[in-house]
Structure 1
Amino acid sequence: MKRKIAVEDSLSNLAKELKKDGFEVATLNNNNLQNVDAVVLSGEDNNMMNMSDIQTKAQVINAKGLSAQELKERLNNQLV
């Protein structure tokens, strides 16, 4: 089963790598946070979408400093 991952727009390079490895990648927005398995953020300390009250059951991963391979490993380990 494909895992659906919401990825912050600024991480398009990582999104491309995830797609290559078979992940279903979606743009990060308020409408799809309940329908994804994980959310990947850049780690920047800002509220880029002006959403401070968002709740999701998805895994949230800070990609700051991670290579594409490290991110894929983390997703594969956490999305069991």
Structure 2
Amino acid sequence: MARIGVEQALTNISEALREKGHEIVDLKQESDAQGCDCCVVSGIDSNVMGMQDTQMQGSVIEANGLSADEVCQQVEQRTSR
């Protein structure tokens, strides 16, 4: 299964992804995203300046407004190889 970085505040999503067999990495700082296939963020701290310093190659899923099941579906779609 995939290695997924999940923002600490999204515990319900972390638990749902663990149940599906994914390895979960708590995103405490930007460098934690390295080596992850995909990251799930709350979207609360969206980048309003449009500047970014990419730390990973995988997709970023914004969980704002999505259920845990919807996030799991997006993770499955984006990490399927």
Counting only pairs closer than 5 Å after superposition, residues 29-68 of structure 1 correspond to structure 2 as: 29-45=29-45, 53-68=53-68
Q: CA deviation at 1:30?
A: 2.7
2:22 is equivalent to residue 23 of structure 1: yes
Q: Do the aligned residues in 1 keep the contact of 2:31 with 2:55 (CA within 8 Å)? A: no
Whole-Å separation in 2 of the counterparts to 1:30 and 1:72: 22
**Which moved further from structure 2: 52-61 or 36-45?**
52-61
Identity, in percent, stands at 35
Amino acid aligned to 1:25: I
Whole-Å separation in 1 of the counterparts to 2:57 and 2:46: 21
Give the TM-score taking structure 1 as reference length: 0.81
Give me the CA root mean square deviation: 1.7
Secondary structure, counterpart of 2:53 in structure 1: coil
User: Which aligned runs of 4 or more in structure 1 are off by greater than 4 angstroms?
Assistant: none
Whole-Å separation in 2 of the counterparts to 1:20 and 1:45: 27
How many equivalent residue pairs? 75
Can you list the C-alpha shifts for 1:29-58, whole angstroms capped at 9, x where unaligned? 3333221001100010357xxxx6343211
Q: Do the aligned residues in 2 keep the contact of 1:34 with 1:58 (CA within 8 Å)? A: no
Whole-Å separation in 1 of the counterparts to 2:53 and 2:7: 17
Structure 2 unmatched ranges of 5 or more: none
